[in-house]
Structure 1
Amino acid sequence: MGLAVPGLFATAVLPAYATTADEPGDKSAVRVVEHKPQTLDVSEATLASISATDRDGYSITLPPPPPPVVTRAATPGAAKSGMSVGQALANPPYPNFSLDSVVAVAQQYIGVPYRFGGADPSGFDCSGLVMYVYAQHGISLPHSVRAQASLGTRISREDARPGDIVVLGDLSHNGIWLGNGMILDAPYAGKTVTSRPLWTDNYFIIRVGI
């Protein structure tokens, strides 16, 4: 038996069993007759009008709540125009150097495309990205993984801090260390500047600027 009432619906399940006389007019014996559960759809307003006593013996199922809305932060996007390395060194926009600032500045270029030999926001290669980020802090680095690796101080992994420079052991690649096994780098042609897990254990950390 179904009765549909517009609005927010709940389901009331009627008792599954009832009794009936064995023969018409015979009240001395009864037998149990099994009935299939029936549901009755009623509106929220109707439920509110039913007293607690009336609800005894009923199973009331309210509709599930809607799923939560998940929002995601916008992903930094395409290439940005900006100053050259020389201009950054001549007038550093972040003259008060800190490793935290290095990370914050590097993250501005997530999404910039890889470009071989690139060292500005129109495109970066790996050492070009490192050079450009440090130049904005007034620190001059050469445009070469090998040359950058020879500068500064090599420090233990335990002492590494986000903003240090991570260099692969074969001197083929480098990037900005983010901690927790993560690197921010310009990977290779066809990719963009990104943060990602470091994929090898063959690396070391150098620190410049402090």
Structure 2
Amino acid sequence: MKKASLFLFALFMFFSFQVGSVFAETPLSQTINGLVGTPYKWGGTTPTGFDCSGFLRYVFNSFGVELSRSSKEQAQEGTWVSQNDLRPGDLVFYHTFGKGISHSGIYVGNGFFAHAADDGVRIDKMSQSYYANRYVTARRILSDDLYSQIMKDN
């Protein structure tokens, strides 16, 4: 029992450290963390409520990057990037209903992405079966210079 408890505690600390290190102290992570918990609102584009593409537009607009309004349009912007080569700030896209792209999020590192889900803005693991089975593609929209700026430690 003691070993199991120690293992669970170590596992908890590992994931806490991993998530914490991804989301702490960069301009991108501060922006995203400040929006976690914002309610979902169909067509929402402000901190009073977001849909998935509105959330992406809001976050990237704060760094001077303009994105199209819909997830389907956003999936055509920037350059394609392999899921194995994702870096924080890349856009990730899913088919959550119907055919084609219907959901989007922001890769934040260590296999996690931020998005506006039905229950509000949250951070989920891309390997969760729901998302892993619905992943479509990813796009890189940040130049290397802008990436360096928004990923620097504050």
TM-score interval, normalised by the smaller of the two chains: 0.5 to 0.7
Q: Which residue of 2 aligns with 1:193?
A: 121
CA contact (8 A) 1:103 1:162 kept: no
Q: Which residue of 2 aligns with 1:138?
A: 64
Gaps of 5+ in 1: 1-99
What TM-score do the two structures reach when normalised by structure 1?
0.49
Gaps of 5+ in 2: 1-25, 144-154
Q: CA deviation at 1:145?
A: 0.3
Please say if 1:203 is aligned against 2:129. no
Q: For the pair shown, which has the larger CA radius of gyration, 1 or 2?
A: 1
Give the paired residue count. Answer: 110
Report runs of 4+ in structure 1 exceeding 6 Å deviation: none
Q: Which moved more, 1:200-209 or 1:167-176?
A: 200-209
Please say if 1:117 is aligned against 2:43. yes
Aligned counterparts of 1:111 and 1:208: Cα–Cα separation in 2 = 25
Q: Which residue of 2 aligns with 1:104?
A: 30
Amino acid at match of 1:177: Y
CA contact (8 A) 2:89 2:142 kept: no
Amino acid at match of 2:125: P
Quote the sequence identity (%).
35
CA contact (8 A) 1:152 1:206 kept: yes
Amino acid at match of 1:200: A
Aligned counterparts of 1:106 and 1:165: Cα–Cα separation in 2 = 13
Could you say which structure has the greater relative contact order, defined with CA pairs below 8 angstroms and 6 or more residues apart?
Answer: 2
Deviations 1:58-94 (A, max 9, x none): xxxxxxxxxxxxxxxxxxxxxxxxxxxxxxxxxxxxx
Q: CA deviation at 1:162?
A: 1.4
SS in 2 for 1:114: coil
